[in-house]
Structure 1
């Protein structure tokens, strides 16, 4: 059988995964109208609010489709159906734009290009038309970009379809505390290039206007094919349209008169559609509407009907918990705002119509419920439609030992991530409270760093793609590819084949992405010692390019913040200074005090040693970021005791400390060695650095590595193999790129520094 799935969104992806779970032989083709693989559209708000990289939203890497024999056609519009046995329309929806004069001056909020356009225009004042779920998320994103943001809503309360008056009354001030003004019962009459005019003559100045009032099912193809179309493409309980060869799933489908505009029903429909395709009798009977607001600082979950014949409410000035039951005592709705404890249990009660003779007791039970108390049918992850029973079964049958493994295997928590605490609790329950196992470098294939390193060495592998082809690492979800890229560079002494698709956005453009989608540039200032000429050059660049913020960092560096991606090449050219690697999992800085040069307490040349040490370490990638310091006496002005590598001048010599931390974790470093000269201190520091590069897990800071392994084994490993470690360090250092900013002259690909990276 040959099956064509039309539409590369969440629905299309869900359908092909569900079919593949049931049948490995069906020939599958996925036609995507967009020029990219299916991505998590539900998480689009993170592109605005957190400056996330669009690639981070991709649901599966390209290798997954290859491994599962799915032909993918990108940037492809389907005009007619021919050549396949069955078809599944997953064409989704478009943003609904009401007939407002001047609407062409506004943005919609439906895709990555929309987010890029909104971010580029975000300055001064912003107006969002629509106070529903997506409208509030867009407004929060704009407020996070520094805009003075106003939501204009036609109705008398926010999210009127999901909330009652009591909850909405609390939601409005909660949004206002985040910098979002709310205007209710306002009708937008006209949008102009400079703002919005409301009915009655009220005018709101705006530099950017976003319309988010709902969706319109994409049904043009279905109409051309002569299918039965009302608001959406009409389907029966088997998800079959009026043409028995054609099914429809997702926001384009209309089932029993309802078009669902949320993600949870997609997975339920996709499973039924896959059963139908595979010849298994199945029925979709509808879904309970649910909503979860993805705005940091506002916890809101609701399901089912906001009102009913009977309801109980527990509320105060900042929290609202409501349970609604029908005349027969069945649970039909819940609203949780500010306090969402037990949301999984209550949402399951709504979905299953659980009897609640005493609704208040059920509400109280939910507030005390743990993950162990949830029924197997409780949906833990709404983004991917994963229930507790599926998670527990995967932990038991596959022997999963870490939360990351569970996320990658079951996909629970791989969306917005809000359910990860419950996933971790379920894992802890199944493991009897035992600590989580060390994380596999590739959790999907349960492959450790050591196992993958052995494959690389035995087969002489020089790229992530070769490694993936050899053993499958990174081919299922792709989340481990940055770790594989590091492993490849470390084992090959930086003489590997670099593949940018395996790197984070920061490493692809050599700058640190910020929460508004702009970047920060930190030039290398070794040891925190600079010159008047360098300072003048930095000032000239900042002034010429109107850099919004210049910041002295805690590591004695100068940070230029708020730089657009397309500005980066010109800024680097004019700075003419090497990269400080402030964006990378790499050696960042070596902080120094003035040492014996000026300090009357100085015992050692802190600045000279710090500059030499930083020069020796810079450019090397590491399992996690590495910060260093050299202080000229035990008074510790450079805070060497709480750095990854800290060197301290003492009477008669130097001490080297490792594994210190002063961030979210505070830890004094362990004394690794005491040596008579600064040259020996540098040698010991470099040997430890190489040991850490070779031995620590990816994304494991030095302090976590030392705590896990212990200082004595580390000291033995470093001191007993000093010359071997230093030789391997020299090989890696010799092949390291001294200044990755030189790519400004020869970009890796044409869009490397374009607004949307490919």
Structure 2
């Protein structure tokens, strides 16, 4: 347990993304928060909701709706906010950091919440103008401009982020076309044989591909990017695949994963692997420095979903208080996947491919576009894929996490939570009755 910090303790948080901001909000709820808090963000914009970048790109919301808190709010809370400056070095001995603007800040406790950046494949042409990531507001605004000008865009990556970017581009381009600008053609290249191969089985992936194709996206599976081609001005003109096929492109979007922004911690001498290593208290190899979110690594795991990061925030906020609880530790838990594309509902968790010990329950209504497949082992749910009607998804995920025996409601598992709950309640009632009544019968 850390000793109680002095009244003048200065906490500096590097990173004003969703993780860093969530931590600030959590600390403000605590009476034992550090006396002085400074937040340093390299973006010029105050914290915003990156999860909503896809619907914003699609034109489904205003830019203002992305903002989590305006800059004035920080001052009202007594927090110093430094925007548009990147921390370039950390002196762990002096406990001082320096920004690219020459600003020096001393700290007693430091949190690295530096996030991640798009993972750029090592292919020729990756540096060409017109090649974009899709990670922050600048990326989204650049892609909006691409969509509004029209032309041809190729999205590399058929996972969650790639599909959200592709559909956002398509919808933005469609709206621009109605207003008289050029039309936009969007293609998606997926290296594996199906979309979202880490979350979906073949049937659900097929349904998803069919719907996206109907909307106007060109889906290419089993497509390996070999190079991005450009003209003599250094501007992208197309992509070349490993099989020799070429697709013309005025813009390319890379959505093939993320790389943790761990360089700052690595250069400061902190223990790192793929990201900055932390323990269950989110503490690095330096007891005065913590790491949080996509830039950290816990027991070999790195992060790209908000659910585990929110749990990290809860633990770290406890550790940064004056009287941290010894029992507050971060632990890995399974997470569920949801796709954020308007009009498409998808919910999945657990293993994708069944093994010999799994019982497989499936329901498919091709007319309505509904599909559900469950994997059970000894009556307990281990995995699920839901497409179309996903209302039962959170209930199923809860049952899986609880390890509940669903054998008594097996016949209702594909119908709905209410039916399954009713059968489980009836079974529990019968079990309670039998348990209470049996000794009486034996005594008689």
Instruction: Give the corresponding residue for 2:165.
Output: 138
Q: Which residue of 1 aligns with 2:143?
A: 118
Match of 1:7 among 11, 15, 19: 15
- Give the corresponding residue for 1:157: 194
In structure 2, relative to structure 1, the CA distance for the partners of 1:66 and 1:324 (3 Å cut) is farther
Per-residue deviation, residues 596-626 of structure 1 (Å, max 9, x unmatched): xxxxxxxxxxxxxxxxxxxxxxxxxxxxxxx
1:218 is aligned, of 244, 261, 285, to 261
What is the Cα deviation at residue 329 of structure 1?
A: 4.1
Aligned to 1:188: 225
How do 1:401-550 residues align onto structure 2 when only pairs under 5 Å count? none
Which residue is equivalent to 1:177?
Answer: 214
SS of residue paired to 1:251 = helix
> Which residue of 2 is the match for residue 260 of structure 1?
303
1:290 Cα offset (Å): 2.2
**1:129 corresponding residue in structure 2:** 156
1:250 Cα deviation from its structure 2 partner: 0.8
Confirm or deny that 1:61 pairs with 2:106.
Answer: no
**Deviation digits for residues 281-337 of structure 1 (CA, Å, limit 9, x no counterpart):** 201111313221111121112223334442322122222112233x45433322211
Does 1:291 find its partner at 2:337? Answer: yes
Structure with bigger helix share is 1
State how far apart, in whole Å, the 2-side matches of 1:55 and 1:84 are: 33
Residue pair 2:55, 2:341 contacting (<8 A) in 1 also: no
1:268–1:284 CA contact under 8 A, matched in 2: yes
Which of 7, 18, 21 lines up with 2:26 in the alignment?
18
Cα distance between partner residues in 1 of 2:20 and 2:344: 31
Cα separation, 2, equivalents of 1:115 and 1:369:
43
* 1:85 to partner: Cα distance: 1.8
Q: Which residue of 1 aligns with 2:442?
A: none
Partner of 2:180: none
Alignment match of 1:272 (pick from 315, 318, 342): 315
Give the Cα–Cα distance (whole angstroms) in 1 for the partners of residues 118 and 65 of structure 2. Answer: 23
Aligned to 2:134: 109
* Higher-RCO chain (CA-CA 8 Å, sequence separation at least 6): 2
**Is the 2:33–2:320 contact (alpha carbons within 8 Å) kept by the matching residues of 1?**
no
Q: Deviations over 1:431-462 (max 9, x none)?
A: xxxxxxxxxxxxxxxxxxxxxxxxxxxxxxxx
After superposition, the Cα gap between the structure-2 partners of 1:226 and 1:204, relative to the gap in structure 1 and judged at 3 Å, is same
- Among 302, 309, 319, the residue aligned to 2:370: 319
Q: Secondary structure at the match of 1:22?
A: coil
Correspondence 1:334 to 2:384: yes
Q: Deviations over 1:639-672 (max 9, x none)?
A: xxxxxxxxxxxxxxxxxxxxxxxxxxxxxxxxxx
- For residue 216 of structure 1, give the secondary structure of its aligned residue in structure 2: strand
Aligned to 1:343: 393
Distance 1:173 1:71, change over 3 A: same
Give per-residue Cα distances to partners, 1:371-390, cap 9 Å, x unaligned: xx9xxxxxxxxxxxxxxxxx
- Deviation, 1:4, is 1.2
Structure 2, unaligned runs of 5 or more: 1-8, 97-105, 175-183, 230-235, 425-444
Of Structure 1 and Structure 2, the greater strand share is in 2
Q: Specify the alignment match of 1:74 in structure 2.
A: 83
Other-structure match for 1:232: 275
Which protein shows a greater Rg?
A: 1
Partner of 2:123: 100
Instruction: After TM superposition, give the deviation of residue 365 of structure 1 in Å.
Output: 3.8
Residue aligned with 2:145, SS: helix
> CA 1:111 to 1:166, structure 2 compared with 1: closer, same or farther past 3 Å?
same
> Match of 1:194, SS?
strand
**C-alpha separation in 2, matches of 1:107 and 1:62:** 28
Q: How far did residue 353 of structure 1 move?
A: 3.5
Q: SS where residue 188 of structure 2 aligns? A: strand
1:57 and 1:156, CA in 2 relative to 1: closer, same or farther beyond 3 A?
same
Show structure 1 runs of 5+ residues with no match: 374-758
Distance verdict in 2 for CA 1:225–1:112, change over 3 Å: same
Give the Cα separation in 2 of the matches to 1:85 and 1:55: 35
Matching of residues 557-576 of structure 1 within 5 Å: none
Q: How far apart, in 2, do the equivalents of 1:355 and 1:222 lie?
A: 45
The structural deviation recorded for 1:67 is 3.1
Query: Normalising by the residue count of structure 2, what TM-score does the alignment of the two structures yield?
Result: 0.79
- Counting matched residue pairs gives 370
**SS of the residue 1:103 aligns to:** coil
CA contact (8 A) 2:123 2:226 kept: yes
RMSD over aligned Cα atoms: 2.1
1:90 equivalent in structure 2: 113
Aligned equivalents of 2:411, 2:386: Cα separation in 1: 14
The CA distance in 1 between the partners of 2:219 and 2:64, in whole Å, is: 32
Residues 66/120 of structure 1: CA separation in 2 closer, same or farther (3 Å cut): same
Q: Normalising by structure 1, what TM-score? A: 0.47
Report the alpha carbon displacement of residue 194 of structure 1 after superposing the two structures with TM.
1.5
Of 359, 366, 384, 2:417 maps to 366
Q: Provide the C-alpha distance between the structure 1 equivalents of 2:265 and 2:12, rounded to a whole number of angstroms.
A: 14
Within the candidate set 35, 38, 43, 2:44 is matched to: 35
1:352 to 1:56, Cα distance in 2 relative to 1, 3 A: same
Please say if residues 341 and 368 of structure 1, whose CA atoms lie closer than 8 Å, have aligned partners that are also in contact: no
Q: Cα deviation per residue 1:495-523 (whole Å; 9 max; x = unaligned)?
A: xxxxxxxxxxxxxxxxxxxxxxxxxxxxx
* Residue-by-residue CA offset, 1:519-563 (whole Å, 9 max, x unaligned): xxxxxxxxxxxxxxxxxxxxxxxxxxxxxxxxxxxxxxxxxxxxx
Cα gap change, 1:359/1:9 in structure 2, threshold over 3 Å: closer, same or farther? Answer: farther
* SS of alignment partner, residue 172 of structure 1: helix
Deviation at 1:354, TM superposition (A): 3.5
